[in-house]
Amino acid sequence: MPVRALVRPQVLSWGRTTAGLSVEEAAQLLSVKTEQLSQWENGEQRPTMGQVRKMAVKYRRPLNVFFLQTAPEDTGEPLLPDFRLGGQGVLSNHSRYLRFALRTAREWRLDAFDLFQTIEASPLRFELQVSLTDGADEAAEKIRKWLGVSLEIQLGWPGYDRFRALREWRDRIEGRGVLVFQFGRIEIPEMRGSSLYFDELPVIVLNSSDAPNGRIFTLMHELTHLALRGSGLCDVRYIQPGAQAHSEIEVFCNAVAGALLVPSSALLALPDVVAGNHNTEWSDIRIAELANRFKVSRLVVLRRLLSLGKTNEAAYNSRHLIWSAASDADGEGGGDGRRIALNARGQLLTKLILAAHGARKITLFDTARRLGIKADSIEYAREFIRA
């Protein structure tokens, strides 16, 4: 006879619902009938130990949580203003992948704090601050100086490596004490990025399903949120200035991100841009050339031209849907699981884990577990942070 687990029905229900799963979806993941899962959650039957272990894996929760006497009040997800709704309230019906990403981001931040204490060091305080009363160009220049990235450095990054600029910007941001995590399997319309503000170790979450240039824009958008001392869940779509009062923060973050990546002065230094006007018809080839020059997406270039009065909304909108769809299909696919695991955690967290291991504060097994790789891949992780 299989051993039945002494679990509380309400804890099983809590595990499923906070994973963002319906009874039907969870039953399919657990390879059981919906009626059987319902009986477990109603207390009519109890699952076996093996079935509870499978729940822990599929619901992405520690096994011991399922043996609590009462369901936890904390879901583990940070409560973020939902700017997909104009920043009005917090939307709770996230997909299970987004729920997992937000829970994991919070857990990894706490892990980073523990590691700093373990190696007897302290995180940098987040000193960058901008205001909605700043102009977009002024705020962008503050952020660029804080990052220490001149326009000459940016333009010097090779365009043939489509991930190079993303790595460079991310490394600069993490070098200033901001944790930047990346998670896949989240639908882009659900989230392009999110930010969690703290005075120490603030967090930016990117959707690795997005194209590299799309992630760069999201990275700067979320960094602006942090500089405003705010948190949020965003899709970073184009919002027409003045369209909705409650989108003021998103409009500002978009404008700052665009001004940072494609400065007005640099764009207006180009003869054809100077000669352009509201009715100028820009070829796809020229837009692509400018995108390659600044290491951004074509949409960002077109958006900047629109903001400078060098094209019009009709021209922008005619390309927006087509280029957005192409960008959404150009994200990060499969590949080496080690690289995916380390890219998810980023340079800062990876360096902290390796530093703790180097100081013999954590074991090889714990190091591998925290990095999401096998113990024989630790040297690969060291090469990752040197790259």
CA–CA separation, 306 vs 323, rounded Å? Answer: 16
* Prediction pTM value: 0.88
Q: Domain map of the chain by residue range?
A: 9-67, 96-328, 334-386
Q: Are 206 and 181 in contact (CB under 8 A)?
A: yes
DSSP-derived letter for residue 336 is -
pLDDT tens, 312-326? Answer: 999 998 888 788 766
pLDDT value of residue 90: 46
pLDDT value of residue 332: 60
What mean pLDDT comes out for the span 81-107?
75
Residue 4 structure tokens: 């039945």
Residue percentage of the chain with pLDDT more than 90: 74
pLDDT value of residue 222: 97
What mean pLDDT comes out for the span 263-281?
95
Q: Are 46 and 107 in contact (CB under 8 A)?
A: no
Say if residue 156's pLDDT is above 60.
Answer: yes
CA–CA separation, 89 vs 224, rounded Å? Answer: 20
Q: What string of DSSP letters covers 351-377?
A: HHHHHHHHTTSS-HHHHHHHHTS-GGG
What burial class does residue 248 get, using C-beta atoms within 10 Å of its C-beta: 0-12 exposed, 13-18 middle, 19+ buried?
A: middle
Lowest mean pLDDT among 1-15, 108-122, 327-341: 327-341
CA–CA separation, 30 vs 27, rounded Å? Answer: 5
Residue 88 confidence class, pLDDT cut points 50, 70, 90: very low
Q: Are 360 and 343 in contact (CB under 8 A)?
A: no
Distance in Å from the first CA to the final CA of the chain: 54
C-beta atoms surrounding 339 within 10 Å: 13
What mean pLDDT comes out for the span 36-50?
93
Q: Any alpha helices (H) in the chain, and if so which ranges? A: 9-17, 23-30, 34-42, 49-59, 96-118, 136-147, 151-156, 164-174, 212-227, 248-261, 264-267, 271-275, 284-294, 298-307, 313-328, 337-358, 364-371, 378-386
Lowest mean pLDDT among 87-101, 248-262, 301-315, 346-360: 87-101
Spell 36-71 as b/e; 16+ CB within 10 A means b.
Answer: ebebbbeeeebbeeebbebbeebbbbeeebbeeeeb
Residue 265 structure tokens: 């002065």
pLDDT tens, 209-245? Answer: 999 999 999 999 999 999 999 998 886 665 554 445 4
Residue 78 confidence class, pLDDT cut points 50, 70, 90: confident
Closest CA to 261 of 224, 231, 235, 309: 224
pLDDT value of residue 387: 72
- Calculate the dihedral angle through the C-alpha atoms of 300, 306, 312, 313, rounding to the nearest 10 degrees: 60
Give the mean pLDDT of the chain: 90
C-beta atoms surrounding 283 within 10 Å: 8
What mean pLDDT comes out for the span 86-105?
75
CA–CA separation, 2 vs 218, rounded Å? Answer: 50
pLDDT tens, 169-207? Answer: 999 999 999 999 999 999 988 899 999 999 999 999 999
Residue 182 structure tokens: 């990346």
Is the CATH number 1.10.260.40 carried by domain 9-67? yes
CA–CA separation, 20 vs 225, rounded Å? Answer: 26
DSSP-derived letter for residue 193 is E
Contacts 24+ apart (CB under 8 A), 94-97: 94/20, 94/190, 95/20, 95/186, 95/187, 95/190, 96/19, 96/20, 96/21, 96/60, 97/183, 97/184, 97/185, 97/186
